[in-house]
Amino acid sequence: MNTVSLSARNVTKRYGGVVALSDGNLDVQSGEVVALLGANGSGKSTLSKVITGVIAPNEGRLHLDGRAVTFSSPQAAKSVGITAVYQELSLIPDMTVAENIWLAHEPRRWGIAVDHREMRARTQDLIALFAGTVQSSLHPDALVNSLPPDERQVVEILKALSLQPRLMILDEATASLDSRQVARLFELIAEWKRQGMAIVFVSHRMDEIFRVADRATVLRNGASVGDRVISETTEQELVELMIEGMVAPDSVQGGQLAPDAPVRLQVRNLHTDLLKGISFDLHDGELLGLGGLQGQGQSDLLLALFGAIPCGGQVLLSGQPAHFSHPQQAMQRGLAFVPGDRATEGVLLIRSILENLQLPSWRKYGFPLNMVRARADAGQVAQELSLVMESLDAPVSSLSGGNAQKVVLGKWLLRNPRVLLLNDPTKGVDVRTKVEFYALLNRLRAAGTAILFYSSDDEELLSLCNRVLVLHDGRIRAELAGETLNHANLVSASMGTTNASNGYE
Amino acid sequence: MIEAIQSLRQQSAQISPPVVALLLSILLFLAGGLINPNFLNVAQAVNIVRLASFLGIIAAGQTLVIISGGEGIDLSAGAVVTLGAILTFRLSSGQNDMILPALLVVLAVGAVIGFLNGVGIIVLQVPPLVMTLGMTGVVQGTILVLTQGELIGNMPPLLGRLIAEPLILGIPGVVILWVLVGLGMWLLLERTTYGKQLFAIGVNRTAARLSGVRVPFIVILTYTLSGVLAAFGGFVLLGFTQTVFLNLGGPYQFPAIAAVVVGGTVLSGGKGSYWGTMSGALVLTLIESLLRALQLQEAYKLMTLGITLVVLISIYGRQRSVRQ
Amino acid sequence: MNSVALRRIALRHSYLLALLLLLIAVGINFYLQPNLFELRVLNSNLRNFLPLIILTVGQTIVIIGGGIDLSVGAIVSMANAILVTLILPESGPTEILIGILAAVGAGLAAGVFNGLCVAYLRLQPIVTTYATSFVYAGIALLILPRPGGNLPREFLRSYRGAPLDIPLALYFIVLAILIWLVLRSTRYGQYLFATGGKADAAYATGVPVNFVRFSTYVWAGLAAALSALALTMNLGTGNPRIGDAMTLDSIVAVVLGGTRLSGGQGGVIGSVLGVLILGVIRNIISFANVPTWSQTLVDALIIIAALAGPGLVRFLRRRTA
């Protein structure tokens, strides 16, 4: 493998009026691992996709081995040895592992026919790299949609590797891997480094960065703000770079729970495909946190309570059975749900703010709809949320991420919910809105609303919540409150370290 | 990616298709005057609006279905129009006092057909295109079984008077009816919970469901309404044609979809209006009248319709690119 | 055998259900028409099925690639009109060849136009091909204003042959399947399934998604022209609306053959079986003494049942699960 060096300079990417990346810079060369760091929405993924040709930048230059290059497609980037392992998977669900790995560079016989035997053999060799950390169901002929998430991620890594790249970008590639797979990956990365590969490692897990990276480049709000050599820096310093000037969430402290608050929601042995028996109580005026690594069943729990996915077990709302088969029933009983993915689950992008706010509530405006009253009510909520907007008739797509999220929350505030279910509501939201949001949660809590709050941001949970349930593998691994509610406990419970579970069923 | 879609949508929103369509129809009318000076007079204008009324009424249900999204389309509408006309023709047998009972039966039959479409699409998950295309065959088959090839019956004279002839101030009844349908559709889309939920499911069914919208119910209701409106279109059309034949509604199927698209209703759903469809119906009727004034044959008519629609879809209906 | 392996077989060999359905239908047909397997009857049946089979091969490729082509029937009409206009009863081999080349050229041109609209202009396939179908239907009507035309007797007779006592149509069916298998085994085959399976993932992997989409419509255009050739040689005459009903039939056959309408899965073998099922069902309808006026309805109901079948099974399974 020959040497390689790549540098990205002043890369900019805008979507309409929204700037995803304003000044992205990155240098990487053979035999080093550069960590690309930044908070959610800081532009890490955009920058890596520009480098791999998936996204066409508006401005900026790429230099490969000292020469300026532009990639018109992912194929163009691949042909010079640049490839990526993506966070959202790039696999075709209905094709086999081997077909996916070799897609677009299949070994061929007689110049035309795909050589399936050769493809299978080479796939077997690749899988062997992860031998001992994957199940036997991961074989060349397995369909990708029959694999668990961690093995799909492994296939994704092998797919990138099959191109024998000179530069590989690992974009949150460890998020769904278990600890042994991560350890194996890091051994492999060390090996690739020795062979002269250049690696960009995108992650938000600080410990992994310190284990594997040589240097770190930090992005904040779409711009590169610093470069550090890992051996000469500290976790603290990197975090400060990432959030410099930002308000730490603990500027808003959670209030105390009234000791005699009645139980609003009683959950007993709730189970779904992912959840394996969840039990807890949620009190009026309580802000109960859900923690843990992503995808441990937090979303399922919220969706099941809201009647959006089928579940078993017992749920009591104010003492009455509350087993819903459709969100409408949950809504009528005073539940509200703010989904995790705003764009695909929360808002109607092309419809007006007014229609988005009133979507769950139109029924109460009679026939023909009393638009004067609907508009007045929506306007009031918009004001309460200090929504920054042109008018109520502007489409939600004209709003910033934070304001769009306020609309999602606002549509439920119009219904005065008794129980609020929040699925990572501050993801990709700017800091100012976050602070407003925390204040609002506190107001709601003071008014007696029971809030169940999942967040992927540990700091948020620690500073806002009275109590945090840590989920791991579909179970409550720990309940943290008071003294035990600290960062160390949260992290160790998230990892499910208490007993050695190897991920096998 | 989402942002890219937004900017595309915003750009196309600035044009306001219904206004463009209305201007286009005025332009076409004036163009007709250049071809043939006799084209430009009040009687011709009234006649064109009258012809557009039939298309407009038939396209009402199609508008709802396309707004509902999920690749929504109702290709059975043309056949239901035919069935509606044939049933009216047969059940009333030319008696004025049978008009109302016949209408009720016609609407009920339309509702059943639309309901079956909706159930097939939602419960059995047959894509709307295939489901409604298949339903076309069933409706045509039913017509053949029903008539055994003989079209017995008659048009009640009152129906013809109400629909085709000038009713008030020289305005034909069907035009007045069309305006009423327009008002009704506006109420339905903009001033009912159903309308608001219809737009919501057209944009994003997951978000709608998580906001308490019963998506399957709304979809089935929408196809049912489409069936009812198509059957009603057949009833109205009979008042104009005075007689029936086996492919009475067929020629309206494609122009009805075209009218919806020309009027700016987005094919992917969630955005549109009936007054856009009304303007679209005017445009298409004018194109057809112009072609007739030019004495072009059927072949050119088909081609012009096809090309018009391709051009309009390429203006309004482009999908997102795989590369961002 | 574990469930994963079963699922893979169901996905890769989705035609197995169609095969079962075909065997049942053929059994009923044989009961009603005992001479079904005589060479003469078999030849005549396959001759009638061949045009739709060829057309369906094209439709299958489009659908696997994630699209749909509602204009194939109109392209058949157009190519049919060209054939009967250019080839006259007294035409020699050269004129016949020119006629065929013109028809194939027109089919390819129509496919290219569809492909450009859908793949490069990124227009929605359903309504776009529905719209272009009117363009092609218009051209057909322009070339051949009313049904008619006559072809050289020798030319027509060649279609009725049965070399080695095997119906000629069967050679072409096998040829179509072979071409498909070759196509499937190339890199293009992988691209096709990847594009239909998950276009953005395929794009990120370096599959030329737009070109693949474009090419599927060209295949469909070519198939439609060849289908028209078979149809014209079978009927010996022309009709500007001859292909109208074939569009729906081709889609139904694809679905019957186990190919998913949302793309990324399926194959031509299933589609061929799908056409055979459709054809045999129509045989049954005509031999089962179904009253003439009810035949359309019975036919349509069977088609609806076939289309809804997979969904019904899924629905019932959900209910019992």
Mean pLDDT for the stretch of residues A64-86: 85
CB contact under 8 A, A103 and C202: yes
Domains of chain C: 36-320 (1.10.3470)
How does residue C304 score in pLDDT terms, banded at 50, 70 and 90?
A: confident
On the question of pLDDT at A226 being above 80, the answer is yes
Say which residues have a Cβ less than 8 Å from residue A4's Cβ, sequence separation at least 6.
Answer: A29, A30, A64, A65, A81, A166, A167, A196, A197, A198
Query: What's the confidence (pLDDT) of residue C2?
Result: 54
Subunits close to A (at least 3 CB pairs below 8 A): B, C
Distance between CA atoms of residues B214 and A443, nearest Å: 31
pLDDT at site A497: 54
Q: Among C7, C184, C190, C259, which would you mutate to test the A interface (most chain A Cβ atoms within 10 Å of its Cβ)?
A: C190
Query: Which among B211, B267, B320, B324 is the top mutation candidate for probing chain A, defined by the most A β-carbons within 10 Å of its own β-carbon?
Result: B211
Shortest distance, CA C120 to any CA of chain B (angstroms):
9
- Of residues C280 and B14, more confidence is placed in C280
pLDDT band at B317 (very low <50, low <70, confident <90, very high): low
For residue B253, pLDDT beyond 60: yes
- Pick from C205, C265, C319 the residue to mutate for testing the A interface (most A CBs within 10 Å): C205
Reduced to 3 states (helix: H, G, I; strand: E, B; else coil), residue A454 is strand
Which residue blocks in B191-214 are alpha helix, DSSP H? 193-203, 205-210
Distance from CA of A277 to the nearest CA of B (A): 24
**Cis-peptide, bond into residue A368, ω within 30° of zero:** yes
B207/A326 touch (CB, cutoff 8 Å), yes or no: no
Choose among A374, A370, A329, A368: nearest CA to A356.
A374
B15: confidence class by pLDDT, cuts 50, 70, 90: low
DSSP string, A314-334: EEEETTEE---SSHHHHHHTT
pLDDT category of residue B175 using cuts at 50, 70 and 90: very high
d(CA B321, CA C199): 10
Find, among A207, A229, A208, A322, the residue nearest to A218 by Cα.
Answer: A229
* Facing C123 at nearest CB: one of B127, B303, B317: B317
Of the candidates A55, A362, A398, the beta carbon closest to that of B324 is on A55
Average pLDDT over residues C178-204: 90
Q: How far apart are the first and last CA of chain C?
A: 22
E strand or H helix at A280: strand A276-283
Select the highest-mean-pLDDT range: A441-450, C23-32, C258-267: A441-450
What does the pLDDT read at residue A204?
67
Q: What is the structure's pLDDT at A87?
A: 65
Q: Are C204 and A54 in contact (CB under 8 A)?
A: yes
pLDDT at A247: 47
Interchain pair A75, C208: CB under 8 A: yes
pLDDT at B323 > cutoff 60: no
The residue with greater pLDDT, A162 or A483, is A162
Whether residue B89 contacts residue B234, with contact meaning beta carbons closer than 8 Å, is answered with no
Q: For the domain with range B16-316, which CATH number is right: 3.30.390, 1.20.140, 1.20.950, 1.10.3470?
A: 1.10.3470
ipTM: 0.86
In this predicted structure, what is the pLDDT of residue B324? 47
Question: What burial class does residue B292 get, using C-beta atoms within 10 Å of its C-beta: 0-12 exposed, 13-18 middle, 19+ buried?
Answer: exposed
What integer is the mean pLDDT of B230-237? Answer: 95
Instruction: Give the span between the Cα atoms of A92 and B215, in whole angstroms.
Output: 28
- The pLDDT score that the predictor gives to residue B222 is 97
- Which amino acid is located at B284 in the chain? L
Q: What is the DSSP string of B89-153?
A: HHHHTT-GGGHHHHHHHHHHHHHHHHHHHHHHHHTS---HHHHHHHHHHHHHHHHHHHHTT----
pLDDT at residue C37 tops 90: no
pLDDT at B1: 43
In the structure, what pLDDT confidence band is assigned to residue C61 with cuts at 50, 70 and 90?
Answer: very high
Q: How many CB atoms lie within 10 A of CB B164?
A: 17
User: How far does the CA of residue B42 sit from the closest CA of chain C (Å)?
Assistant: 32
Note the pLDDT tens digit of each residue in B25-65. Answer: 888 888 878 877 777 788 888 888 999 999 999 999 999 99
The answer to whether the CB atoms of C204 and A96 lie below 8 A apart is no
Most confident residue range from B229-233, B255-259, C17-21: B229-233
A166-175, B205-214, B227-236, C11-20: least confident range: C11-20
pLDDT for residue A499 is more than 50: no
Q: Binning pLDDT at 50, 70 and 90, where does residue A130 land?
A: confident
Closest chain C residue to the Cα of B124, Cα to Cα: C311
> Does A308 contact B210 at a Cβ distance shorter than 8 Å?
yes
pLDDT score for A454: 92
More confident residue, B292 or C179: C179
Least Cα distance to A11 among A281, A224, A269, A209 occurs for A224
Q: What is the residue-averaged pLDDT of chain C?
A: 87
Q: Please list, in sequence order, all residues whose beta carbon lies within 8 angstroms of the beta carbon of residue B196, skipping any fewer than 6 positions away.
A: A355, A358, A359, A362, A369
pLDDT score of A378? 93
> With an 8 Å Cβ cutoff, are A106 and C203 in contact?
no
Chain centroid, CA B38 distance in Å: 29
Task: For residues C30 and C280, give the distance between their C-alpha atoms in angstroms, rounded to a whole number.
Answer: 10
Higher per-residue confidence, A329 vs A235: A329
Do A339 and B210 touch, CB atoms closer than 8 A?
Answer: yes
Whether residue A4 contacts residue A164, with contact meaning beta carbons closer than 8 Å, is answered with no
pLDDT grade, residue A75 (50/70/90)?
A: confident
Q: Which of B290, B270, B285, B220 is nearest to B55 (CA)?
A: B285
Portion of chain B with pLDDT greater than 70, in percent: 93
pLDDT, one tens digit per residue, over B59-109 is: 999 999 999 998 899 999 999 999 999 999 999 888 888 999 999 999 999
> Where does C65-186 have alpha helices with state H?
72-86, 93-115, 125-143, 153-159, 168-185
Distance from CA of C308 to the nearest CA of A (A): 22
- Neighbour-count burial of A500, counting CB atoms closer than 10 A to its CB (0-12 exposed, 13-18 middle, 19+ buried): exposed
Residues B182 and B275: beta-carbon distance below 8 Å: yes
* Mean pLDDT computed over A16-21: 70
In chain B, where the domains are located: 16-316
Whole-number percent of chain A with pLDDT over 70: 91
Which chains border C (3 or more CB–CB pairs < 8 Å)? A, B
| Exposed / middle / buried, residue A281 (Cβ in 10 Å: 0-12, 13-18, 19+) | middle
